[in-house]
Amino acid sequence: MSKPLFIKKLALLVAIEAVVGSIVVPVAADAIRVSDVTLTPIEGEEVEEGVIRPFFGASESTLVTLYRKVSFSVGFAGVATAGDLPGWATLLRACASSVTNTPADPGDPLVVAKTVFMPITDDTESVTIHAVIDRQLYKMSGARGNVKAQVDAKGMPKWQFEFTGGFHPVESVAQMPAVSYAKFLTPLGVNKLNTTLALDGFDAACSSFAFDFGNQVVKQDLMNVDTTEITGRSTTGSVTFRNTDVATKNWIEAARSSAKVPLLLRHGQAATNTISIAAPLAQLGKPSFSDQDGIQMITIPLRFIPSDAGNDEWSITV
């Protein structure tokens, strides 16, 4: 009888590639503290040969492309010390975002220590991913992806990532890799104490906020080409909150005119374990109503629009 492989013995390590597609070996500090992991060990397009015979029967097929996918969640949390990079910074870089880190300056108290992520169009970085399940190593090279954030009241907020990358044969390793999760904090619960959301300057009694980078991730397999590319971006989201009377805020009229308004979500406390998502031009879509505890809720879909300068439809500050 074969020895069982335990799916909960899992380590995920992610490292930035100096050259896109050139695999690197992650170290313990590259470990990602994950949940909700789904690994697709082999993916690709399959073509049937279509052989015709003098009798019925299936025709053989061939995988004409090969790649690997992995999805997982990471806690939506900040950092222990202002100016530190969050543990998920590498992941956002591979989802087509820039990172600008401002560490604390002991000689200048006016310098605000923080890290800011913003979308980019060109020169997206790629990562090597090592997913190890009970000493079975699944490598991905040249990986890029998309990410969503889900921030729901009475819940633990999470980033939800999906990466696509190059296929490599499975390897059996002698032991599980060393990991360090020192850069990851436990997310704070979403509630009045920890979370605020302002839409067009209105402090909403919000039950749910969703945010999707909207990256178009494609796997290209051509002659001399085997890459994962991000070929477009359309960032969307939604917010659900207690509806208001029209004298306070007329959301229906704002949606009718396709109003573009500022949005600011802030989750956390003090100056460290805090994340903010800001969008200067969040376009309001068609609202819908729902019932929560006998209270009318309104859900407004959002589309995040860049200015004429571009690559500024949102920013994430830690």
SS3 label, residue 237: strand
Count Cβ atoms within 10 A of the Cβ of residue 225 and give its class: 0-12 exposed, 13-18 middle, 19 or more buried: exposed
Q: Which mean pLDDT values do the consecutive 10-residue runs of the chain (318 residues) have?
A: 90 98 96 98 94 95 95 96 93 98 78 92 98 98 98 97 97 97 96 96 97 97 94 98 96 97 93 90 98 97 98 97
Q: What element of type H or E holds 90?
A: helix 89-93
* Contact (Cβ atoms closer than 8 angstroms) between residue 30 and residue 90: yes
pLDDT at 271: 66
CB atoms within 10 A of CB 178: 11
Distance of CA 170 to the CA centre of its chain: 26
pLDDT at 18: 97
Using CA atoms, how far apart are residues 134 and 4, in angstroms rounded to an integer? 9
User: CA separation (Å) from 317 to 117, 170, 312?
Assistant: 6, 38, 13
pLDDT at 103: 83
Number of H helices, E strands in the chain: 2, 22
Strands 315-317, 202-203: parallel, antiparallel or unpaired by DSSP? Answer: unpaired
pLDDT at 138: 98
pLDDT tens digit string along 9-62? 999 999 999 999 999 999 999 999 999 999 999 999 999 999 999 999 999 999
Instruction: Name the pTM for this structure.
Output: 0.95
